[in-house]
Structure 1
């Protein structure tokens, strides 16, 4: 047996080390020895843990029961990611990676900048392992980013592309912003106001643009680019079947977004219904069975309908249609004047419409309404809580006529965004761009065979998103399918049907950090090397057998010399 000494009792016990290495984009910020994550990797490789078995995980990868020496290449090539683990989730995942051996000393190390964009909840003390925090911070918290972009139509031959920049404390004046189309530089401009840091580009209408916006900033790289695309997209087809004036509809459903067509009810060609995206029943007195059946098929194929009843509506005919396409039921007329006072601000139709809740506006009024029973979502309501406008899936229903003899609703500023967004929702064409990580849904105006699928392609990489096929469109749903920003091709086999842009979330652009000590009373270190040395010293066994061998050899030599010379 080899004799040894131990500095403490833990030295007599085997140990396990699990390390969480944050490789989110903010860890690309520069510390006093370069990028924070690169510095952490180098400290790990220089730690002297080369051959010891550890477990290491990042936001998007893991290495179980390996030596640092065996994964050296993987660590050096580790890339940054937009995927993030909440700190609480990182602790839980690390805990699950320990063995079930209760005799071992277990250490979990969290290496991160502990940025405030993620919620931080101090972990409860756990007797099963020791939790150690290593907080790495950049030298400077200044970061300039392209925050967002949007289109303004100034009714000329051009569109205006507005680009919003952000910076915590860095100057944005005269910062060049470059615009590329298909990787070709087409324009450069700059922000001319610190108070309103927006750069503007003039773009020709009716031209397809696969755009990239770019700035130069030495801090973080992921937010220096923003991808977008403007397409000569197909128009949303709207057909209004009229028994009342439709001038207000003509003014709302205009080009370039919509292709609006109106037809008197008596002249309706039923074959045109299936070609539309949105059908409007504009104050029909009665909905005949043939029209009800046609609209039922239309809704089943994911077409949208908007119902505006008349003052003389025959409710049985309306209910015949409503029963087949929804759970909305009209029960009778209420001939009382009512004010429309309640707005469902959380309804998707009003996303981005209101900056804040409006408490005092000129309430529109009606001279009477139709009472309804519904499982749908009320969009607008009367003062007594009865619905004025209801949605259930792809069916929208007003509960009163909109003509000027019956109401002043058409004079209200509410009507335009409400009807406009109903039109947009009937065919969710790809937006200017989407943010990776959000729940995303859009329509591709195409039909595919039963065994066909649509793919998203970026260079050599292809992703198969969730999709639902209908006779004239395919609805694409994206959750966490995508990891890389860029302009993706929408592919049917090898045919490019359209393009759609995705960008990383800008949450990490704001370089503000938790102070673990003052905010949570947590002891942390700013040096991974010191933390690893502490763990090593706590568990190190100081073996003495080598010294005993040396002393034994020296004594043997002395004994031989004594025997030789004493004689």
Structure 2
């Protein structure tokens, strides 16, 4: 037997008080006249002996009652196999408030049971102990130790959250908080459903100075269906076209499902898209066509119906479609090619600008969707660097070298862009016979490709060398297998390089409107930087948009289902990076507002890691708890949980038994004095 407060044992010296009273208590006798004392000697001796025995028993009862009270205040306990923590304790409680904790148990949602058990744990400790209450939100107020009453209030304030954390990260956060105060006894509790995708505790990572207690909660059913992801089949959504959307729906349960209804909501209209049959633990990818009728930023949502876990039943997306392509033609003499001017100026889908190489506004270069370089006999180093940055930042550059081009100057420029180099100009006539209809530029352009489609012819060209490390993609090819028009991705943009000049006496490409005009349009709307259709709450903390006139006085704001806030803003080239800082709490579409004008929109969805309702098995948890420093508690029974906590942290307490013993000894004293007549 050991004691939590052994200093109280000094109070055993108080046992001397009843002994002293017993020794120095002298009863005063009164003389009584009696006629004959002949027969009294034997009776007197017998009575005196019984009196001494009674007094000794009363003294013993008093001493034992006082000793039992002293032992009770010293808080004796029977030690367990673990080392008992005596003195003040620092206790950290992690309450898993992720969406998976919304699943039902036999009596209530898992989150409510987790909060109840957390309160039981706090109450099982003393008022002098210190507590941390931690959930997945990782708020600043949860990174400090508080008293018992405030801890109970923090537990009551825990609500379901879209955030999800790996247990290794949680355990590290607990260690950090427990070290903030100089308390040697440190204990951590993890109250969770222990999903496999987040339960990544490694034995080597556990701090042995902190006793870790696992408190697992179990849901009734492990059934869930969710929309895993949605994406456009093409790199860019196009206006007035049936854009193909691919939707991946996953069955996380153990039962096959054959009646999962999928619907699409766009422009205020809800359209059923049919039903899906999904095998257990599998997914299906379904196709949905979205006809975008309005230019600018659009939004849509895909939805299924499922119960009880519903956070992953809706998937929000946004997209941007341009009604006009802003094109910049840079020509050495500021006199654009006549056919190029006709192609760009003849259709309302283009917004062209023509400048000479000496009059370029480099600051506005990023505002253009497509830059076309024509008539440049050589490329100056300043222009070459600006065009490289433009392409890397998501721009599209189309180059037509003239017949009199300085090959060495062009090759130095092309090396910067990671493209193949030009050979010496060759005046051999060639015919284009290959058109890459699988690439975005020419995909879905021609409804029926047949012999009536006229392909370009050239009277001369610069043969393109092929370097294996440079990612050349042939868009147009000659009969002899050489390249007429090539594409090179660079950074977030694309370089398009023609091996032949644009002049009509050399190249008939500009005369073939059925090839040239859709080629210019799709080059203008393409980009190596694919705009994400959506972002994930808790994962994507930085998003980007175009620089649209934000100033120190006029800043961007995000406005959506979770409220309105001002994100962190940083300008890089022609883009603005927006830092979210965890300020998006609710899934949905958030509008980017500049002043009072909506300039962009972004879709945010909940993290799908919570969709997989597979948990660590009891055997897995038992194996984890078999390691030193980790214990497994039973959360199903409240009394058992509290008893386990007290036994694990204080041993088997005996003070209650000593209180009862003190009362019994006092009762014995009363009975002796009342019923033992001398």
Shift of 1:220: 1.7
Residue 124 of structure 2 corresponds to residue 49 of structure 1: yes
Quote the residue 1:239 is aligned against.
Answer: 328
Shift of 1:38: 1.9
**Unmatched runs of 5 consecutive residues or more in structure 1:** 338-348, 350-365, 383-387, 407-415
Q: From the superposition, tell whether residues 279 and 130 of structure 1 become closer, same or farther in structure 2 (CA, over 3 Å).
A: same
C-alpha distance in 2 between matches for 1:156 and 1:495? 25
Shift of 1:33: 3.0
**Residues 493, 529 of structure 2: 8 Å contact kept:** no
Quote the residue 1:343 is aligned against.
Answer: none
C-alpha distance in 2 between matches for 1:76 and 1:246? 72
The counterpart of 2:171, out of the listed 91, 95, 106, is 91
Quote the residue 1:137 is aligned against.
Answer: 218
SS state of the match for residue 192, structure 1? strand
C-alpha distance in 1 between matches for 2:200 and 2:217? 16
Quote the residue 2:430 is aligned against.
Answer: none
The counterpart of 1:13, out of the listed 76, 86, 96, is 86
The counterpart of 2:190, out of the listed 105, 110, 117, is 110
**Unmatched runs of 5 consecutive residues or more in structure 2:** 1-7, 9-69, 279-283, 427-439, 441-460, 475-485, 508-517, 626-631
**Residues 45, 68 of structure 1: 8 Å contact kept:** no
Cα deviation digits, residues 485-518 of structure 1 (max 9, x gap): 1111212234333332211122221222334735
Quote the residue 2:249 is aligned against.
Answer: 165
Quote the residue 1:434 is aligned against.
Answer: 535
**Residues 55, 65 of structure 1: 8 Å contact kept:** yes
Quote the residue 1:198 is aligned against.
Answer: 286
Q: From the superposition, tell whether residues 336 and 493 of structure 1 become closer, same or farther in structure 2 (CA, over 3 Å).
A: closer
SS state of the match for residue 604, structure 2? strand
Shift of 1:178: 4.9
C-alpha distance in 1 between matches for 2:194 and 2:493? 46
The counterpart of 1:547, out of the listed 650, 660, 669, is 660
The structure having more radius of gyration, on CA atoms, is 2
Query: How many equivalent pairs are there?
Result: 508
Q: From the superposition, tell whether residues 131 and 294 of structure 1 become closer, same or farther in structure 2 (CA, over 3 Å).
A: closer
C-alpha distance in 2 between matches for 1:96 and 1:266? 62
Cα deviation digits, residues 508-561 of structure 1 (max 9, x gap): 212223347359931345526445532211233432553354245324423532
The counterpart of 1:187, out of the listed 266, 270, 274, is 270
Residue 304 of structure 2 corresponds to residue 215 of structure 1: yes
Quote the residue 1:505 is aligned against.
Answer: 607
**Residues 301, 470 of structure 1: 8 Å contact kept:** no
Q: From the superposition, tell whether residues 286 and 307 of structure 1 become closer, same or farther in structure 2 (CA, over 3 Å).
A: farther
Q: From the superposition, tell whether residues 298 and 548 of structure 1 become closer, same or farther in structure 2 (CA, over 3 Å).
A: closer
C-alpha distance in 2 between matches for 1:285 and 1:555? 115
Cα deviation digits, residues 321-359 of structure 1 (max 9, x gap): x59xx966999866799xxxxxxxxxxx9xxxxxxxxxx
C-alpha distance in 1 between matches for 2:242 and 2:375? 40
SS state of the match for residue 165, structure 1? strand
Map 1:11-90; keep pairs closer than 5 Å.
11=84, 13-14=86-87, 15-47=89-121, 48-49=123-124, 52=127, 53=129, 54-60=131-137, 61=139, 62=142, 64-66=144-146, 69-90=149-170
C-alpha distance in 1 between matches for 2:396 and 2:240? 32
Shift of 1:114: 2.4
The counterpart of 2:635, out of the listed 505, 524, 527, is 527
**Residues 49, 67 of structure 1: 8 Å contact kept:** no
The counterpart of 1:401, out of the listed 492, 495, 499, is 499
Higher strand share: 1
**Residues 561, 588 of structure 2: 8 Å contact kept:** no
Quote the residue 1:360 is aligned against.
Answer: none
Q: From the superposition, tell whether residues 286 and 239 of structure 1 become closer, same or farther in structure 2 (CA, over 3 Å).
A: same
SS state of the match for residue 538, structure 1? helix
The counterpart of 1:306, out of the listed 381, 385, 397, is 397
Quote the residue 1:127 is aligned against.
Answer: 208
Shift of 1:139: 2.3
SS state of the match for residue 59, structure 1? coil
**Residues 454, 493 of structure 1: 8 Å contact kept:** yes
SS state of the match for residue 164, structure 2? coil
**Residues 407, 424 of structure 2: 8 Å contact kept:** no
C-alpha distance in 1 between matches for 2:524 and 2:464? 21
C-alpha distance in 2 between matches for 1:244 and 1:458? 47
The counterpart of 2:647, out of the listed 537, 541, 549, is 537
TM-score, normalization: structure 2?
0.60
**Residues 158, 202 of structure 1: 8 Å contact kept:** yes
Quote the residue 2:14 is aligned against.
Answer: none
Shift of 1:223: 0.8
Q: From the superposition, tell whether residues 336 and 133 of structure 1 become closer, same or farther in structure 2 (CA, over 3 Å).
A: farther
C-alpha distance in 2 between matches for 1:72 and 1:507? 29
Cα deviation digits, residues 23-75 of structure 1 (max 9, x gap): 22222222333322222112233454376543221111426434565444543
